[in-house]
A and B are shown apart, each in its own frame.
Chain A
C-alpha cells in the first residue's frame, strides 16, 4: 500500500462553539487533494459529529485523518469516561448529553448513528475510565 497522507488535529474540549474547526479544515484539505465532493461531505459530517461528541463527553481529544489511495481513515481518540453501553449509544435518539448541549442544537442522540451511516466502516474501542477510540473508514473506490 502506498504511503498515507496524514492530518493531525487537537480538539479543544473547553470550547463548544469551536467544535468543527478540524472538520471544516479537513474539508478544505480534501478539496485541494481533488477528492469527490460527495466523499468530502460524508467525511466532514462524520468527523464533525465525532468532534462534537469529544467536546460534550470527553473534554476534547485528537483526530488523525489518513488519506490512502483507496480510502480515507479517521481515528478519533479521547481520554474521556468511555461508553458504558455501545449498543445503546448507537441507537438513534439515545443521548447522555447534558441539557445545555440541547440548547445548542445537539444532544439529539443522532451523533453515532450519523457517523455510522455516513461511513463505510466504523469501529468503537472504548474502556470505562480510560477513553474511547473510534475508527471510521470511507472508501474512495
Chain B
C-alpha cells in the first residue's frame, strides 16, 4: 500500500505529509531507537509511541515510508517542525501499537 492509501483509513490522521506516494512494503514497531535502527528497513512503516525529536532523525536515516505515532500521543511543535524540515511523513492514530500493527499487517 501507499502512504496515501494509509491516510484514507479512518483512524489515521496526517500530521505532516511530504510524499504520499511512498510505498509501504513492511513495518517495524518499537520505541527503543537503537533497536529500531538496527532492525527496521527502508520503506517500512515505523510504528511507535515515542514522540521526541530523535524519532524524526531515525526515520530519516532509515528512510522509512512514514512514522505512525500511536495512542494519539501529544506531538510537540519541535517534532512537527523536524518532520517538515526532513521531509518525513508523520501520521497519528488513536490505536495502540499492537492494534495499529495488527490492523496494518492485513493491508500491507
Task: Spell out A's residues near B (CB within 8 Å).
Answer: 16-17, 19-20, 23-24, 27, 37, 41, 44-45, 48-49, 52, 104-106, 108-111, 113-114, 117
The contact of B34 among A16, A24, A49, by CB within 8 Å, is A49
Q: B residues within 8 Å of A by Cβ? A: 31-35, 37-38, 42, 50, 52-55, 57-58, 60-63, 78, 86
Among B42, B54, B78, max chain A CB count under 10 A is at B54
Contact status A45-B54, CB under 8 Å = no
Most chain A CB within 10 A, of B53, B61, B62, B63, is at B61
Chain A residues with Cβ below 8 Å from B57 are: 19-20, 23-24, 48
Q: List 12 A-B contacts (CB under 8 A).
A: A17-B52, A19-B54, A24-B86, A45-B37, A45-B62, A48-B58, A104-B52, A104-B54, A105-B33, A105-B50, A109-B34, A114-B37
